[in-house]
Amino acid sequence: MPEPTFDELIAGMTGESSQRLAAFGGLLRGVGAEVVAEFNDFSKTLAALPGVGQSAASRIAALRADDSLPLDHRRRLEHETRDGVELVLRKTPAAAHQAIPRIRSMLEDGLLPNAARTDAGIRSLRRQEVQAAMAVQSSGTPLERARRLVGQNAAWDAELLSDYGRAIVGNDHPVLRAEAVGRWKVRTDGTEKQLASRKALAGLEKANLEGAVTAHLQAARAHLTRDDRLPPGRQP
């Protein structure tokens, strides 16, 4: 069996994750422009990563081969290039990793009911309903009472997950939100946006975006260290 070429090795590193990314991108229909924009930035960043190592490696190779410049100057330039690339390869994946929870959070926002477009009068009535439903419960903290309500009624959930709910449960609001996300993930109803977001959230788990970041970073490093792995006699 012939040994794989360098390009085949790189394709092997990033190919599968790129396919998963493309499949996940296909699920981002109807989830909102913010998610699509965030994912597009994420994909473009990852796609640019291997090229970072490749272009830096080419420049270093060109510097080594350029005998018209003094050796010290070439070494300084190579050192600068390596430093710059190392910074880029450290910070860019960090940015990509930071984008993943943002994408997840945006999809969760799309999954949960939203009262932003509801008439103020109707919202007032719904809040009274929520208050009455919480008052009926004989025991428990506000958070416990709210958690029991979550998932029963989309309109109530919309209020509980808004600033109104934040005023009721205080700093425990993220816990209430997580409870609501868990319940809405397993439901089958909702608006088009909720359905699309639910599907995309399921796809997000399969897409393994963290793995894709690592794969593209490794591809960039492989490009950067390609010539370093050559025997000393073959180095330029």
Partner 1 sequence: MKIRRSIADLIQRETPGSPGGGQSSGPPEPTNFEEAMGYLTRTREQLAHSNSELDKARREAAGYRVGAKGQLAGASRKISALLGEPVADDQEPPDIDSLIAKLDPSKHAAAIKAKDGEIRSLKLRAKLSESFHDLGLKPGITRAALIDAGHMERLQADVDKPDFDEIVSTTLEELAENMPEVRGSGTAPVRTSAPMNHSQNPTLQISHEELAGMQPEEVAAALRSGRLNSILGRS
- From residue 220, alpha-carbon distances to 6, 36, 86, 217 in Å are 12, 25, 10, 5
Residue 66 is a binding residue for partner 1 (CB under 8 A): no
Residue span binding partner 1 (CB under 8 A) among the ranges 8-16, 42-50, 152-160, 226-234: 42-50
* Complex with partner 1: residue 53 or 165, whichever CB lies closer: 53
Residue span binding partner 1 (CB under 8 A) among the ranges 5-13, 24-32, 154-162, 227-235: 24-32
Residue owning tokens 């926002």: 109
CB of 6 to partner 1, least distance (A): 19
| DSSP annotation of 212 | H
Q: Residues 193, 199, 214, 218: which binds partner 1 (CB under 8 A)? A: 193
- From residue 203, alpha-carbon distances to 39, 189, 195, 228 in Å are 13, 18, 12, 39
Dist. CA 187–CA 184, nearest whole Å: 5
Burial classification of residue 142, based on how many CB atoms lie within 10 Å of its CB (0-12 exposed, 13-18 middle, 19 or more buried) = middle
Residue 227 is a binding residue for partner 1 (CB under 8 A): no
CB of 52 to partner 1, least distance (A): 6
CB of 204 to partner 1, least distance (A): 17
Residue 203 is a binding residue for partner 1 (CB under 8 A): no
Residue 112 is a binding residue for partner 1 (CB under 8 A): no
Instruction: Provide the residue type at 196 as one letter.
Output: A
Q: H-helix or E-strand containing 166?
A: helix 163-169
Dist. CA 166–CA 72, nearest whole Å: 62
* Complex with partner 1: residue 14 or 179, whichever CB lies closer: 14
Q: Which of 188, 186, 31, 23 is nearest to 109 (CA)?
A: 31
Residue 45 is a binding residue for partner 1 (CB under 8 A): yes
CB of 119 to partner 1, least distance (A): 13
Give the residues lining the site for partner 1 (CB under 8 A).
28-33, 36-37, 40-41, 44-45, 48, 52, 55-56, 58-60, 62, 80-81, 83-85, 87-88, 91-92, 94-96, 98, 117, 191-193
